Amino acid sequence: MSHLHHKSHAPKIVRVFVLTVSDTRTEETDEGGKLARALVQAAGHQIAGSAIVKDDAAAVRACITEVAARPSDDGGADVLITTGGTGISRRDSTYEAISELFAKRLDGFGELFRMLSYAEIGSAAMLSRATAGLLRDSHLVLFALPGSPSAVRLGLEKLIIPELGHLRFEARR
């Protein structure tokens, strides 16, 4: 079955939850989270919810587990996008928080994100630990993006949004 055939059967509207991971962001200052929600909605998809949690692995896992527990046909999400906490500073814990939750990794996402990021910002792109995968015991696909608005825009516009329906379709097969 071809990729185009799968896309033709993919849902046109996907429910997305946006999670900002930050010790400093608030509803007013969360530019990355606001941009993620705006881009998802502008593409015709729905926001299933959003939250801001401290950059603490246990808090991040707890929020993700809660989102994954709610079925998308009951107001839950099909896709969860995190912003922030993907760097290498001592407080950056998103990668550690989510990596153990994956049943299947989408290694190509991180590779492509860093490649595209390299074209924009140069060698600093290697500092990003952007990643994605299918959560264990769930149909939820998770993408972890850096928190900067430019990284959020790059990841969503170039990689995630074009494949949202196809991702949901494949995750439920």
Assigned domain for 62 exists: yes
8 A C-beta contact, residue 33 and residue 50: yes
Assigned domain for 91 exists: yes
The beta-carbon contacts of 64-67 under 8 Å, at least 24 apart in sequence, are 64/19, 64/97, 64/98, 64/101, 64/135, 64/142, 65/101, 67/17, 67/19, 67/140
Instruction: Measure the CA–CA gap between 87 and 112, rounded to whole angstroms.
Output: 17
Assigned domain for 53 exists: yes
* pLDDT of 156 strictly over 70: yes
Instruction: Measure the CA–CA gap between 1 and 83, rounded to whole angstroms.
Output: 34
Condensed to tens digits (0 to 9), the pLDDT of residues 60-80 reads: 999 999 999 998 778 899 999
Indicate the Cα dihedral angle 161, 142, 51, 30, nearest 10°: -50
Assigned domain for 4 exists: no
Condensed to tens digits (0 to 9), the pLDDT of residues 114-147 reads: 999 999 999 999 999 999 999 999 999 999 999 9
Assigned domain for 1 exists: no
- pLDDT value for 82: 98
Domain interval for residue 84: 12-171
Task: Characterise 49 by phi-psi region: left (phi > 0), alpha (psi -120 to 50), beta (else).
Answer: left
Instruction: Measure the CA–CA gap between 109 and 162, rounded to whole angstroms.
Output: 13
What is the average pLDDT value for the chain, to the nearest integer?
93
Assigned domain for 149 exists: yes
Residue 9: which pLDDT band, with cuts at 50, 70 and 90? confident
Check: pTM over 0.85? Answer yes or no.
Answer: yes
Query: Which pairing describes strands 131-135 and 102-105: parallel, antiparallel, or unpaired?
Result: antiparallel
Largest CA distance in the chain: 46
* pLDDT of 57 strictly over 70: yes
* pLDDT of 2 strictly over 70: no
8 A C-beta contact, residue 107 and residue 91: no
What is the CATH number for 21?
Answer: 3.40.980.10
| Total domain count, the chain | 1
Assigned domain for 5 exists: no
